[in-house]
């Protein structure tokens, strides 16, 4: 079955540590996204990528970094510069062109130790 796989499901970060969240899709979608969701809140866009080797900042990119070396993979690094990283992180992908819904992975829940 095609889909989006995020790992790990739960992640704990120590002070001063960088952590990387994995996102892999086998839907052959061009575009991929990272969102942050805080408890009881909506989605905020961190980064997105329209094509391999290219990505753009979203609304809350500070303290995060991404790469897009392969079409199917879009890992997110939460750096030590992100002072409040505790949140639910969602990866999504979408076919190119308009009128296509975004498809979501199951999410990674990140907490500070």
Partner 1 sequence: ELKVEQNPLFLSMQEGKNYTIYCNYSTTSDRLYWYRQDPGKSLESLFVLLSNGAVKQEGRLMASLDTKARLSTLHITAAVHDLSATYFCAVDRSNYQLIWGAGTKLIIKP
Furthest-apart CA atoms within the chain: distance in Å: 42
Nearer to partner 1 by C-beta: 43 or 61? Answer: 43
CA 95, chain centre distance (Å): 17
Q: What minimum distance in Å lies between the beta carbon of 58 and partner 1?
A: 8
**Non-local CB neighbours of 92 within 8 Å, separated by 6+ positions:** 4, 32, 33, 34, 35, 102, 103, 104, 105
Q: What minimum distance in Å lies between the beta carbon of 40 and partner 1?
A: 8
CB count in 10 Å sphere of residue 93: 27
Tell me the window of 10-18, 65-73, 77-85, 99-107 that interacts with partner 1 (CB under 8 A): 99-107
Q: Of 12-31, which residues contact partner 1 (CB under 8 A)?
A: 31
Residues contributing to the site for partner 1 (CB under 8 A): 31, 40-43, 45, 48, 50, 58, 90, 92, 94, 96-107
């Amino acid at each position: 079955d095609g889909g989006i796989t995020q790992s790990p499901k739960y992640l704990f970060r120590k002070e001063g540590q960088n952590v990387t969240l994995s996102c892999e899709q086998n839907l052959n979608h061009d575009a991929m996204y990272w969102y942050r969701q805080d408890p009881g809140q909506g989605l905020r866009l961190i980064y997105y990528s329209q094509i391999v080797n290219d990505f753009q900042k979203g609304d809350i990119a500070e303290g995060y970094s991404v790469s897009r070396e392969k079409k199917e993979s879009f890992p997110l690094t939460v750096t030590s510069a992100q002072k409040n990283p505790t949140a639910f992180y969602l990866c999504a992908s979408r076919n190119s062109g308009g009128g296509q819904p975004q498809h979501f992975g199951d999410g990674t829940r990140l907490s500070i130790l």
